[in-house]
């Protein structure tokens, strides 16, 4: 297999994570196509990206010229056929079947001349790849929220992922000025396996009435964590966090230490997903 020269990048999914990844790629000089099925989400993403760049201008990390240059490199689209690219990264719902359906369509568009990256937090790469035409071209490229700020990116090799694809994904992330780490295709990879207990144990404290949300967050933040578990779940999205917990719980054969919380489930069912819905464990203006 010959390396694929990466010039054009497609991002499938224009939510918070997709916008962040698009920003990072455009600021590194890549031509970016940010796609979502719903035009209203695409339009909202364009505004949010502009606002994110404005924040960098306010703190002196970007000029107005730099903002315009970055925006000029991003095409916002609701047409999947626009994702005729060299590397495509999906950042959609954390469920296997939608990811398989998306990559199957993307492989029809791009064939073997593309690297297919999944931003999955917990679903095994091998499980997704098993149903695809080119499993050797699928690799995990897992950014952390917010993608434009967090330095770490996990690179995950599936059972059939070609070593050249893994190497290219690693070098691509380095070019973004991020810190790539190679992770095995194990449940939760590295970070989510460790972090899951940060959330689950905090939720157990709340369930058992040991401490309040505010107390747990204050203790963890005073211990050196930048964000307490409840503030962090609100930022990530309680629905996303719950999906990852469910996935990891099942992948570990329902080990009790990974059991999803009923409190978290209730928040999801009520549509209280955190910052993106203006209310989660906390309320937001």
Catalytic member of 142, 202, 243, 273: 142
285, pLDDT greater than 90: no
Hey, which bits of the chain come out as E strands?
8-12, 31-35, 74-77, 87-90, 115-118, 138-143, 152-157, 179-183
Q: Is 273 a catalytic residue?
A: no
Residues 95 and 226 in one domain: no
Residue 282 belongs to some domain of the structure: no
Whether residue 214 has pLDDT greater than 90: yes
- End position of a domain, from candidates 163, 183, 203: 183
Measured from the Cβ of residue 179, the count of other Cβ atoms closer than 10 Å reads: 11
Of the residues 183, 206, 241, the one at which a domain ends:
183
The predicted pLDDT at position 146 comes to 87
pTM of the entire structure?
Answer: 0.89
At residue 8, the 3 state secondary structure works out as strand
- Domain holding 197: CATH number? 1.10.1040.50
Residues shown for the chain: 285
**31-71 pLDDT tens trace:** 999 999 999 999 999 999 999 999 999 999 999 999 999 99
| 230 domain residue, yes or no | yes
Q: Is the pLDDT of residue 132 over 90?
A: yes
192 is catalytic: yes
Q: Position of tokens 């369930």?
A: 207
Domain that holds residue 213: 192-277
Q: Are residues 53 and 164 in the same domain?
A: yes
Measured between alpha carbons, how far is 91 from 182 in angstroms, rounded to an integer?
A: 19
Among the listed residues 192, 202, 247, 261, the single catalytic one is: 192
Q: Of 110, 121, 243, 247, which one is the catalytic site residue? A: 121
Q: Is 246 a domain residue?
A: yes
Q: Of these residues, 90, 94, 136, 154, which one is catalytic?
A: 154
User: What is the pLDDT, as a whole number, of residue 144?
Assistant: 92
Q: What is the pLDDT of residues 183-196, one digit of tens each?
A: 999 988 999 999 99
User: What confidence score (pLDDT) does residue 70 get?
Assistant: 97
Same domain, 200 and 178: no
8 Å CB contact between 48 and 76: no
CATH code assigned at 15: 3.40.50.720
The answer to whether residues 39 and 82 belong to one domain is yes
DSSP per residue over 46-62, as a string? HHHHHHHHHHHHHTTSS
In a domain, 141, yes or no: yes
pLDDT at 283: 96
pLDDT higher than threshold 90 for residue 168: yes
145 tagged catalytic: no
Helix (H, G, I), strand (E, B) or coil at 14: coil
Does residue 242 share a domain with residue 159?
Answer: no
Domain count, the chain: 2
Q: Is residue 274 within 8 Å of residue 238, measured between CB atoms?
A: yes
| β-bridge mates for residue 268, sequence order | none
Q: Tell me, what's the pLDDT at 1?
A: 84
State the average pLDDT over residues 131-144: 97
pLDDT in tens, 67-118: 999 999 999 999 999 999 999 999 999 899 999 999 999 999 999 999 999 9
- Look over the chain and give the mean of its residue pLDDT values, rounded to a whole number: 95
Catalytic status, residue 142? yes
Residues 65 and 154 in one domain: yes
Using the 3D structure, point to which of 129, 154, 183 is the last residue of a domain.
183
Q: List, in order, residues 6 or more apart from 34 with CB less than 8 Å away.
A: 11, 14, 18, 19, 22, 42, 45, 49, 74, 75, 76, 77
Q: What is the mean pLDDT of residues 143-148?
A: 91
């Amino acid at each position: 297999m010959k390396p694929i020269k990466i010039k054009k990048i497609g991002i499938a999914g224009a939510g918070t994570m997709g916008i962040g990844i698009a920003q990072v790629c455009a600021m590194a000089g890549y031509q970016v196509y940010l796609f979502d099925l719903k035009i209203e989400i695409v339009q909202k993403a364009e505004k949010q990206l502009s606002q994110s760049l404005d924040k960098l201008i306010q703190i002196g990390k970007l000029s107005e010229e730099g903002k315009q240059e970055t925006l000029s490199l991003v095409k916002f689209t609701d047409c999947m056929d626009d994702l005729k690219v060299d590397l495509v990264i999906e950042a959609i719902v954390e469920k296997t079947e939608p990811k398989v359906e998306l990559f199957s369509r993307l492989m029809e568009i791009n064939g073997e001349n593309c690297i297919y990256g999944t931003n999955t937090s917990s679903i095994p790469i091998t499980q997704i790849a098993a149903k695809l035409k080119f499993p050797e071209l699928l690799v995990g490229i897992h950014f952390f929220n917010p993608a434009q700020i967090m330095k770490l990116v996990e690179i995950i090799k599936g059972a059939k992922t070609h070593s050249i694809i893994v190497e290219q994904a690693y070098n691509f992330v380095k070019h973004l000025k991020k810190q790539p780490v190679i992770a095995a295709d194990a449940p939760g990879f590295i970070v989510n396996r460790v972090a899951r207990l940060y959330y689950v144990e905090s939720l157990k404290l709340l369930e058992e009435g040991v401490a309040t949300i505010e107390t747990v967050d204050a203790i963890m933040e005073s211990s050196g964590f930048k964000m307490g578990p409840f503030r962090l779940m609100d930022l990530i999205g309680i629905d996303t966090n719950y999906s990852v917990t469910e996935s990891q719980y099942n992948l570990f054969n329902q080990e009790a230490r990974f059991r999803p919380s009923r409190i978290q489930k209730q928040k999801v069912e009520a549509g209280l997903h955190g910052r993106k819905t203006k209310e989660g464990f906390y309320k937001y203006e």
